[in-house]
């Protein structure tokens, strides 16, 4: 598993996972850190923006829309949130 | 798309445009608007309609020189939301432009159909803001009463005291103006009414700006349809109202005829909340051509939906190519480059632009254009209007939810 997400503690990761699963309308045991939102969980571009917006709100960060290309699975989201938190 | 007919007439009535009323960010009234189109003016400026704090950029095409009292006489303008004020004002302009008196319109069986995206969401924005700040008990009852979208059409009936009239507000978002024109065409063609006041209206509002902003589709500065560096839409506002009547009626009273409504096509696909579908758009164009009895080679230019987003422009041009053929692409322009995206008003204002283009023999330009996106690959009549002898033009409107509507207008030439 990626080491890129060590900066976020387990509780924070769980919070993010809940937000993502809520928007994708899936159970938490259906998603893994590397399963793809689009290919594996039927997300479209609108869902991706919903995830971005919800994370900005709950994680108190600002995420550039260009980051959507990296937010394809939980690992990608953790990395983007970690970087955004470091900036903020 | 009524092809049948009422009564004993063997031939359905022909329908013509004899009056135009517009409220736009480049001109109020058809003369000022036409001058704006010919000169390629731009209506873009920083938004003042709401507090834009927190947005990295907030340009729009706002109407800043509109005085409702100039156009609204019988109804207290304060009882109308901004979109209804636009629709009523544009209607008065259209009636006057047609050379009719209000009494003459009232004496006829009439239809009022007004399309919209947001209705009076501008007032809803304000009510929500009030509710958040001080609670719902602080709602202004005058503002609350203005909210129902039905008032965009019923406001017209109140202002002109119309009696034998059907009023509809059509909520098919950014294609609603064309839907309203089509509805008027059917009502006149079948003999249900003798005059139709049709079009669309919308007022700039925070809700819609924020929604498009969140989707990443608001251009920071300028709207550049078909340009390789286009960055999205600019939200706009205004109204367009067309006065339609039968050809016989127009000839009998010696009216100036801007254009004939040759037909239209609708094809809602409901495939996706926001993404346009190329095949569905192509199908809509094909239906419109067949309904109007025209072939692609007869279309002199296409007034595109042309929002200036990556998705719209490529998908829309792809659909046009599908119907016209890669070697026979029509000139394809977007007046949204000048007036932004006025939502439900957009295709009605564009229909008015098509009508004056036919009458005066020019193609409105697509401004802010530097370099055409090779993926679009159209002659968008960049930056400067072009003189052209025109016979038949096509007005596209594509809305969220796959609500697509295409209207075909033709130049009216009296029989020699």
Give Cβ neighbours of residue B385 (< 8 Å, ≥ 6 apart). Answer: B37, B38, B39, B40, B362, B363, B364, B365
Residues in chain A within 8 Å Cβ distance of B216: 49, 65
B98 lies in the same domain as B171: yes
Query: Binning pLDDT at 50, 70 and 90, where does residue A88 land?
Result: low
B54 lies within 8 A of chain A by CB = no
What is the least distance, in Å, from the CA of A52 to any CA of chain B?
A: 10
Q: Which of B189, B222, B252 is the last residue of a domain?
A: B252
Q: How confident is the model at residue B397 (pLDDT cuts 50, 70, 90)?
A: very high
Query: DSSP letters along B314-341, please?
Result: HHHHHHHHHHH-GGGPPEEE-THHHH-B
Rg (CA), chain B: 20
ipTM surpassing 0.85, yes or no? no
Phi, psi for B404 (deg, rounded to 5): -110, 140
Is B214 in Cβ contact with A45 (below 8 Å)? Answer: no
Residues B248 and B120 in one domain: yes
Q: Is B196 left (phi over 0), alpha (psi -120 to 50) or beta?
A: beta
Looking at the structure, tell me whether residues B287 and B172 fall in a common domain.
Answer: no
Spatial CA neighbour of B305 closest among B265, B280, B334, B268: B334
Task: Decide: helix, strand or coil at residue B372.
Answer: strand
Residue B328, chain A, CB below 8 Å: the answer is no
The answer to whether residue B246 sits within a structural domain is yes
d(CA B336, nearest CA chain A) in Å = 24
pLDDT band at B1 (very low <50, low <70, confident <90, very high): low
Q: Tell me: the pLDDT tens digits for A16-74? A: 999 999 999 999 999 999 999 999 999 988 899 999 999 999 999 999 888 999 999 99
Best A42, A43, A45, A65 member to test B by mutation, with max B CBs in 10 Å, is: A45
How far is A28 from B39, CA to CA, in rounded Å? 58
DSSP assignment of B1-68: ------TT-SSPPPEEEEEEEEEETTEESHHHHHHHHHHT----EE--SS--TT-S--EEB---S--H
**Residue burial B143-154, b: 16+ Cβ < 10 Å; e: rest:** beebbebebbbb
| pLDDT digits 0-9 by tens, B133-166 | 999 999 999 999 999 999 999 999 999 999 999 9
Q: Is A45 on the interface with B (CB under 8 A)?
A: yes
Q: How far apart are CA A61 and CA A55, in angstroms?
A: 8
CB atoms within 10 A of CB B270: 10
The residue with tokens 């980051």 is A67
Q: Work out the angle between the directed axes of helices B278-292 and B310-324 (0-180°, nearest 10).
A: 50
Q: Which residue of A has its CA nearest to B54?
A: A62
Nearest CA in chain A to B311: A45
Residues of A in contact with B219 (CB under 8 A): none
Q: Report yes or no: B142 at the A interface, CB cutoff 8 Å.
A: no
Cβ count near B74 (within 10 Å): 10
Residue B147 belongs to some domain of the structure? yes
Q: Which residue is closest to B273 within chain A, CA to CA? A: A46
- Model pLDDT, residue B11: 83
CB contact under 8 A, B214 and A44: no
Least confident range from A44-48, B106-110, B400-404: namely A44-48
Are B27 and B159 in a shared domain? yes
State whether B301 and B393 are in the same domain.
Answer: yes
Distance from CA of A46 to the nearest CA of B (A): 8
Which of B229, B252, B275 finishes a domain? B252
Q: What is the pLDDT of residue B9?
A: 53
Is B230's pLDDT higher than 50?
yes
Binned at pLDDT 50, 70 and 90, residue B415 comes out as low
CA distances from A55 to A18, A23, A50, A80, A82 (A): 10, 11, 8, 10, 12
* Model confidence at B4: pLDDT above 60: no
pLDDT for B356-389, tens place per residue?
Answer: 999 999 999 999 999 999 999 999 999 999 999 9
> What pTM was estimated for this model as a whole?
0.92
pLDDT at A4 over 80: no
CATH superfamily of A10-87: ACP-like (1.10.1200.10)
> Is residue B415 included in any domain, yes or no?
no
| Per-residue confidence (pLDDT) for residue B10, from 0 to 100 | 60
Contact status of B214 with chain A (Cβ, < 8 Å): yes
Please check whether residues B248 and B381 belong to one and the same domain: no
Name the residue ranges covered by the structural domains of chain A.
10-87
Whether residue B416 has pLDDT greater than 50: no
Cβ neighbours of B275 in A, within 8 Å? 44-45
Catalytic positions of B are 174, 305, 341
Is there a single domain that holds both residue B220 and residue B330? no
B246 and B309, same domain (yes or no): no
Nearest alpha-carbon partner for B292 in B261, B267, B263: B263
> What range defines the domain where residue B329 resides?
262-410
Residues B93 and B221 in one domain: yes
Question: The domain that contains B385 carries what CATH number?
Answer: 3.40.47.10
For residue A52, the chain B residue with the least C-alpha distance is: B214
Q: Can you give the pLDDT at residue B5?
A: 47
**Closest approach of A84 to chain B, Cα-based (Å):** 17
Q: CA-to-CA distance for B206 and B201, rounded, in angstroms? A: 16
Local confidence band at B284 (pLDDT 50, 70, 90 cut-offs): very high
Same structural domain, B307 and B328: yes
CB proximity B329 to A under 8 Å? no
Number of structural domains found in chain B? 2
- For residue B7, being part of any structural domain is answered with no
Confidence (pLDDT) at A6: 58
For residue A9, is pLDDT > 60? yes
- Answer yes or no: do B312 and B372 share one domain: yes
Is the pLDDT confidence value at B294 over 60? Answer: yes
From B221, B252, B283, the end of a domain falls on B252
**Co-location of B60 and B152 in the same domain:** yes
The residue-averaged pLDDT of B317-321 equals 98
Hey, what are B262's tokens? 């040759």
What CA–CA distance (Å, rounded) separates B110 from B76? 23
Cα-based distances in Å from B256 to A72, B252, B297: 59, 11, 28
Residue B284 in any domain: the answer is yes
pLDDT of residue A87: 82
């Amino acid at each position: 598993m990626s080491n890129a997400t060590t900066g976020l503690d387990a509780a924070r990761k769980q919070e993010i996972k809940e937000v993502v699963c809520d928007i994708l309308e899936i159970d938490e045991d259906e998603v893994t850190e590397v399963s793809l939102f689009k290919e594996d969980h039927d997300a479209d571009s609108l869902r991706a923006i919903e995830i971005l917006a919800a994370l900005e709100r709950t994680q108190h960060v600002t995420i550039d829309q260009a980051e959507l290309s990296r937010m394809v699975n939980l690992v990608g989201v953790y990395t983007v949130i970690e970087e955004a938190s470091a900036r903020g | 798309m009524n092809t049948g007919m009422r009564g004993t007439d063997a031939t359905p009535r022909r329908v013509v445009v004899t009056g135009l009323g517009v409220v736009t960010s480049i001109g109020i009234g058809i003369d000022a608007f036409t001058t704006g189109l010919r000169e390629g003016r731009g209506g873009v400026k920083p938004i003042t309609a709401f507090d834009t704090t927190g947005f990295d950029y907030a340009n729009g095409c706002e109407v800043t020189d509109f005085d409702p009292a100039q156009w609204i006489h019988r109804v207290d303008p304060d009882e109308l939301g901004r979109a209804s004020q636009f629709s009523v004002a544009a209607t008065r302009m259209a009636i006057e432009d047609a050379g009719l008196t209000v009494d003459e319109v009232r004496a006829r069986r009439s239809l009022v159909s007004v399309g919209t995206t947001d209705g009076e969401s501008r007032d809803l924005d304000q009510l929500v803001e009030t509710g958040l700040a001080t609670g719902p008990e602080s709602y202004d009852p005058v503002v609350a009463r203005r909210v129902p979208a039905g008032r965009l059409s019923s406001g017209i009936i109140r202002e002109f005291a119309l009696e034998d009239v059907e009023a509809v507000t059509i909520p098919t978002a950014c294609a609603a103006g064309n839907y309203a024109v089509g509805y008027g065409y059917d009502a006149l063609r079948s003999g249900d009414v003798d005059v139709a006041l049709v079009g669309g209206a919308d007022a700039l509002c925070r809700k819609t700006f924020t929604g498009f902003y969140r989707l990443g589709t608001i251009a920071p500065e300028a709207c550049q349809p078909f340009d390789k560096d286009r960055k999205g839409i600019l939200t706009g506002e205004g109204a367009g109202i067309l006065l339609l009547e039968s050809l016989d009626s127009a000839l009998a009273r010696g009216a100036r005829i801007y254009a004939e409504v040759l037909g239209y096509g609708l094809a809602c696909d409901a495939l996706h909340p926001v993404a346009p579908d190329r095949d569905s758009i192509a199908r809509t164009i094909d239906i419109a051509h067949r309904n109007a009895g025209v072939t692609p080679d007869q279309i002199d230019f296409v007034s595109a939906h042309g929002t200036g987003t990556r998705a719209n422009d490529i998908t829309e041009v792809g659909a046009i190519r599908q119907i016209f053929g890669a070697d026979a692409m029509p000139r394809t322009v977007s007046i949204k480059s000048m007036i932004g995206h006025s939502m439900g008003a957009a295709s009605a204002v564009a229909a008015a632009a098509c009508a004056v283009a036919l009458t005066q023999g020019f193609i409105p330009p697509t401004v802010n254009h530097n370099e055409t996106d090779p993926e679009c690959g159209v002659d968008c009549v960049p930056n400067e209007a072009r003189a052209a002898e025109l016979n038949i033009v096509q007005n596209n409107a594509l809305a969220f939810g796959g609500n697509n509507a295409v209207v075909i207008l033709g130049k009216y030439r009296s029989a020699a």
